[in-house]
Chain A
Amino acid sequence: MANIINKRFIIPVLILFAIVFPFVTQNDYFIHVMTLSFIWMIGVYGLNLLAGYTGYLSLAHAGFFAVGAYSLGLLTVKAQMNFWLAFVLSLIITSVLGFLIGLIALRTKEHFFAIYTLCVGYILYLIIDKWDSLTEGVRGLIGIPAPGNIGPISFETPLSQYYLVLAILLVVILIVYRIVHSLTGRTYIAIRNSEDLALTIGISTMKNKLEVFVLSTFFAGLSGALYASFIRFIGPDIGNIVITFDLLTYLLIGGIGTLSGPIVGTVLVVWISQQLQFLQDYRMLIFGPILTLLVIFYPRGIAGSIAGWNAKRAEKKLAKAQQDERFSQSPISAENQVKEG
């Protein structure tokens, strides 16, 4: 019961905090970092649906992130398309690509799947890097427009962009929450748990896996498109495998297969990284060991471990309640217990 009250209380407080955050800090740089965190979170939620809830660790997500970003960039800069039309198109392009790659990739399992998608991600990166005539190669794409006006609302200022990204993030979280807490989510979890068992209870595993894979790339593409319109400049590096591992780090630290994990992990790692900027690449000397320890001792991350403790406590309480019930039903045996004790 305490947990439910907790949840009901924490979520509105967090949303309220996110809404008032820009007014509290008044610091443009902090708002910038926070907006970026929100964008990463969308990508991490995508990865979480696939790796966390369905058990398929994809390492191609930076590739799909870059495809989303470059689709938006090319359609707005080179094709001069209306921003929102380009935005929707870039999501469709990423999802269709995800569907085609998923058809092949999902024939593999476990580490073979991870290695296959690692290669796919790298190929996507290479295409973006080498296809000079289309993507401008290492020079990158400059001058991507900010999100276009929706009616009277414009998104030219960092503050308005912060709220736009926050709104989209909240919708993404709502969607993921609803999926995870539905029969569809249970189906995905059944596949993660044991694909053989899922098949014997009549679940079409291929269809469901493909569904999650596409959804997952959709979120990666959404994240990429938002990134492109927020940073306004993109280079091939955003498709680099390093980005995939960044997303994965956020997910692992926060808690893979949990709903709050992507938020916890992303905020924590991004802010710690900011604080450790002065160490440059040496900050990995701190992150590396922390991540290793976490994976060994808390494989379910921060959110996962807390959920685990709560579940155990609830179970103990239940066991105790049942025991009490038994005692009250048969006072004689309870007396005997006391004597024996």
Chain B
Amino acid sequence: MFLETKSLSKKFGGLTAVNNVDFTVEKGKINAIIGPNGAGKSTFFNLISGFHPPSSGSIILKGQDITRMPPNKIAEMGIARTFQTTNLFEQSTVLDNVVVGHRLRTKSNLLDAVLRTKRLKREEEQCREKALEVINFTGLEKVAGKLVGSLTQEEKKRTAFALALATDPEIVFLDEPAAGVNPDETEGLAQLMKKMVDKGITVCLIEHKMQMIMKLADKIMVLNYGEKIAEGTAEEIQNDPAVIKAYLGGSASA
């Protein structure tokens, strides 16, 4: 078990957004979470990355309980994530956006900054090297000096990937990485996710583009009204009556 949730629930007042979800993320694979709009997919991500405390249940990473850790501690544990909206600093360059991603692995503080200590210089160089490494990895070297505001949607998504990768994660959660991106570029992003897995990083994504998911994911979980209704390989999911019902409506036997 790499990352595991045990009967994880989240209630917002009377609404149960995530209900008793048991889920395991398999190491070195591409895991996907799908489901109709409002099924609780993003809430599920927010629970794992520490943005919402769960109402009940637990989250276990490599045998360690991380259920109520704050988001920054969870990032230090090796879990990175991206958002649906990329949230990047548009008036700054790609490189400048990504450099700060490695900050959590550095120790220099305010005093180091004021005194320009050796440690600060060394760590700044370290962050810069890391940023260049992930920029190359995500195929952004041509636009590294450009302002994020002038990038295409796909390049922004890649920048968000790069920022997540700069934290040296073991697992990345990608919230709709291919939303608002054309089919050719979607293929490019899929290739990038495969490349991440090849490098030993576990990927878990939320996505609506079924074609992409069915080709890409090793394992899929389907959420509907906050509950897990199916889990398995692409083929299993495609033939699951509960999934067909959730997406197309009508009775399962129809």
Does B101 count as interface, using CB distance less than 8 angstroms? yes
Q: Secondary structure at chain A's binding surface: helix, strand, loop or mixed?
A: helix
Does B36 count as interface, using CB distance less than 8 angstroms? no
What sequence of 0s and 1s flags, for each residue 74-108 of chain B, a beta carbon within 8 Å of any chain A beta carbon? 01100011010001110110001001110110101
Task: A203 to B127: give the CA distance in the assembly, Å.
Answer: 14
Residues of A contacting B163 in the complex (Cβ-Cβ under 8 angstroms): 197, 201
Is there an interface contact between B103 and A197, defined as CB atoms closer than 8 Å? no
Does B70 count as interface, using CB distance less than 8 angstroms? yes
Given A196-B83, A315-B147, do A183 and B123 touch, yes or no (CB 8 Å)? yes
B220 vs chain A, min Cβ distance (A):
24
Is there an interface contact between B112 and A182, defined as CB atoms closer than 8 Å? yes
Is there an interface contact between A178 and B116, defined as CB atoms closer than 8 Å? yes
B133 vs chain A, min Cβ distance (A):
16
Closest to A180 in B: B113
Does B182 count as interface, using CB distance less than 8 angstroms? no
What sequence of 0s and 1s flags, for each residue 49-88 of chain B, a beta carbon within 8 Å of any chain A beta carbon? 1110000000000000000001111011000110100011
Is there an interface contact between A202 and B89, defined as CB atoms closer than 8 Å? no
Which residues 162-189 in A have Cβ within 8 Å of B in the complex? 175, 178-179, 182-187, 189
Does A329 count as interface, using CB distance less than 8 angstroms? no
Interface size class of A (residues with CB under 8 A): 20 to 34
Task: A292 to B1: give the CA distance in the assembly, Å.
Answer: 59
Interface size class of B (residues with CB under 8 A): 35 or more
Residues of B contacting A182 in the complex (Cβ-Cβ under 8 angstroms): 108, 112-113, 116, 120, 124
Does B109 count as interface, using CB distance less than 8 angstroms? yes
Residues of A contacting B123 in the complex (Cβ-Cβ under 8 angstroms): 183
Is there an interface contact between A318 and B146, defined as CB atoms closer than 8 Å? yes
Does B237 count as interface, using CB distance less than 8 angstroms? no
Is there an interface contact between B120 and A183, defined as CB atoms closer than 8 Å? yes
Does B166 count as interface, using CB distance less than 8 angstroms? yes
B-to-A contact residues, CB < 8 Å: 49-51, 70-73, 75-76, 80-81, 83, 87-89, 91-92, 96, 99-101, 103-104, 106, 108-110, 112-114, 116, 120, 123-124, 127, 142, 145-147, 150, 163-164, 166-167
Give 24 pairs: A residue, B residue, CB < 8 Å, sorted on A: A178-B116, A182-B112, A183-B127, A184-B109, A184-B112, A186-B96, A189-B89, A190-B100, A190-B103, A193-B87, A193-B89, A196-B83, A196-B87, A197-B87, A199-B72, A200-B71, A200-B83, A201-B75, A202-B76, A211-B110, A308-B91, A315-B145, A315-B150, A319-B146
